[in-house]
Structure 1
Amino acid sequence: MALPDALPAPRVPDPMTAPSLRWGILGTGWIADKFTQALQAHTRQKVVAVGSRSQSGADRFAQRFDLPAAVGSYDDLVQRDDVDVIYVATPHNHHHEDALRAIGAGKHVLVEKPIALNAAQARDIAAAAARADVMAMEALWTMFLPKFDIVRQLLANGVLGRIHTVFADHGQHFEGDHRILRRDLAGGPTLDLLTYPVAFANWVLGAPREVLARTTWTPNGEVTGQTSVLLMQDDGAQAMLHSSVLSRTPTAAAICGEDAMIAFDPDFYVPAGFTVSDNAGASLRHDEPEVAHTGGLHYQAAQLAWCIAAGERSCTIRPLEESIQTMVILDEARRQIGEIYPEEQ
């Protein structure tokens, strides 16, 4: 198939047009900060309260963003009548507990990725949300970015032809006592960085027939340092994925088809450009500002608001089934490399 004359336009509506919900922020770390910035700058969503493990921590966050309410208890946050939806921004090994806390209070919930430590916990969240008739969604912001809707259309239209290979990588260098190096916070690259390549490959290719994983541990043996994963599909397609907390890596990605290839600029999972090229050398280019988290995290919040306003309990862009399948792949990779989190012992 020849390349189209031009790339399709993204179909993502303006987030400013999304119905306004009242948000409670559960957790006050780095990602909570970026998420709140994005909502206040790019949407009509109302961040009305923040909850922390300490009143002083909640007060500092609320003051920084001029929020109406700050509470020093997660339970007090989810019980508030003026909150419609909870954004869970606690460490990975608290996502399950805190998501269930919000769902149990009858609140919709957006859970920062990964949705849980493992597939069993992810299924537990999905089941609890279904029983409570609330919306639960994983905050894998990449899938909601406009550039990925362009890619979604290219794949649906068969522009690449049969997909043979997916490449994806995500590596960063960390030192000292960063949370990603701490075993007690479910550290290592698997849940934090590898989630992006695995979710990306699963989105393009579907559930794999076979998972092969190998790892190198950090020098102190506290957490895994870098992990490579090979996914094999029934039709022979492969995904070659890598993540590392030991060194910076290209953090690039590609989808390689029989007729054409999409090559993503680094960092592939954030707002940035990509090139589509065919076997004859023709190419199409998509460029956009590299605005990172504060310019991109709001798309997932707007999508959640549209779903809730429509009475939906599942998001077609990132349904819970795909979040669970990502965890199934990561579970098998961890089984092979012997990575067990303290909560699983």
Structure 2
Amino acid sequence: MTDTKPGSDRNIRWGIIGAGKIAHHFANGLKAVPDADLIAVGSRAQATADAFGDEFDVPCRHASYTQLVADPEVDVVYVATPHQDHRASTLLCLYAGKPVLCEKPFAINAGEAREMVDTARARGLFLMEAMWTRYRPVMVKVREILESGALGEIRYLSANIGWKNPFDPLFRLYNPDLGGGALLDGGVYPVSFASMVLGTPNTIASAVSLGETGVDEQAAIALGYPSGAVASIGVTVQVTSVNLAFILGTEGRIEIHHDWHRPESMTFVPFGGEPQRFDYPQTEGNGYQYEA
């Protein structure tokens, strides 16, 4: 993200809503962004905000989200609240005139997402889902290859993701009141990946396995596109997946290696040519800096 103020030569001043695990990840990643300063955090308790502020040397510690979005020193807000609070936290920021980077999943359902996007557009404010996968160097290379036409016509995409998680009905992954389910937790990665490569599908079919709390614990999704291309997506929390992704075109294929949603390597295989491997090892930060 760059400063949109003409002539500005200062760093972008970030605020974070929420002080949990994902907020810690983002704060650590932000250290690797040279033009970013983390200057404020908002929590529901002063003690939590202070503890987070002490850990990351954040000068402004707010005991409410409302105080955070009212802070005139904050240029942009990263929403790091639990899934079910993303809509409310994002709208709070937008109504206060703050641009927003919202942690995935962007929203719990399509209705919430439309409301968030419509509000941002009506107010002329930046709003984006924090989908770090799209901005990692491997995915930048993937887009370069796609844009070059080296794959020919894209016909098929496959991506799977999943990790076995012990069952706990109160844990956010299995709790419907906390936005639980495999699709919202991990499935957003292959859905976003398919969207990046193939755009908007015109047909969708799925098979879902519901757990005892009523959330989806695994799903297989087939997406069809006007071009005739198809995408096959798999997500699970019942077993650990191979976590690989492929793009197949008429002139070659791309293989994104394990763990493809936070990739450090890929191989481009032109049909009739030699495979080309590209490695981008994580040498700085934790990867969250790419979405900032």
1:22 counterpart = 2:13: yes
Q: Which of these residues, 39, 61, 86, is aligned with residue 30 of structure 2?
A: 39
AA aligned to 1:72 is A
Q: Which of these residues, 66, 85, 95, is aligned with residue 86 of structure 2?
A: 95
Q: Deviations for 1:110-135, whole angstroms, at most 9, x for unmatched residues?
A: 11112111222222112211222221
Q: CA contact under 8 A between 1:270 and 1:290: conserved in structure 2?
A: no
Matches within 5 A, 1:28-107: 28-107=19-98
RMSD: 1.9
Query: Which residue does 1:138 correspond to in 2?
Result: 129
What is the TM-score when the length of structure 1 is the normalising length? 0.78
How many angstroms apart in 1 are the aligned matches of 2:271 and 2:117? Answer: 43
AA aligned to 2:113 is A
Matches within 5 A, 1:1-345: 20-175=11-166, 176=168, 177-218=170-211, 220-280=212-272, 282-290=274-282, 294-301=285-292
The Cα shift of 1:100 comes to 0.6
How many angstroms apart in 1 are the aligned matches of 2:69 and 2:103? Answer: 16
Q: CA contact under 8 A between 2:176 and 2:213: conserved in structure 1?
A: no
Matched residue of 2:173: which SS?
Answer: helix
Instruction: Provide structure 2 residue ranges, at least 5 long, that are not aligned to the other structure.
Output: 3-8
Matched residue of 2:125: which SS?
Answer: coil
The Cα shift of 1:250 comes to 0.9
Q: Deviations for 1:191-239, whole angstroms, at most 9, x for unmatched residues?
A: 1111010110111111112100111122x23321101100011222110
Matched residue of 1:38: which SS?
Answer: helix
Q: 1:70 to 1:298 in 2, by over 3 A?
A: same
Q: Deviations for 1:56-110, whole angstroms, at most 9, x for unmatched residues?
A: 2111111111110211111111011111111001111111111010011111111
What is the TM-score when the length of structure 2 is the normalising length? 0.92
AA aligned to 1:179 is R
Higher strand share: 2
Higher helix share: 1
Q: Which runs of 4+ in 1 moved over 3 A?
A: none
AA aligned to 2:274 is A
AA aligned to 2:186 is L
Query: Which residue does 2:6 correspond to in 1?
Result: none
Q: 1:19 to 1:242 in 2, by over 3 A?
A: farther
How many angstroms apart in 1 are the aligned matches of 2:144 and 2:102? Answer: 27
How many angstroms apart in 2 are the aligned matches of 1:83 and 1:39? Answer: 15
AA aligned to 1:215 is V
How many angstroms apart in 2 are the aligned matches of 1:288 and 1:130? Answer: 35
Relative contact order (alpha carbons < 8 A, sep ≥ 6): 1 or 2 greater? 1
Q: CA contact under 8 A between 2:256 and 2:263: conserved in structure 1?
A: no
Matched residue of 1:213: which SS?
Answer: strand
How many angstroms apart in 1 are the aligned matches of 2:147 and 2:15? Answer: 36
Q: Deviations for 1:234-281, whole angstroms, at most 9, x for unmatched residues?
A: 222110001111111011100011110000111111131000112225
Q: 1:100 to 1:162 in 2, by over 3 A?
A: same
The Cα shift of 1:44 comes to 3.0
Matched residue of 1:249: which SS?
Answer: coil
Q: CA contact under 8 A between 2:257 and 2:263: conserved in structure 1?
A: no
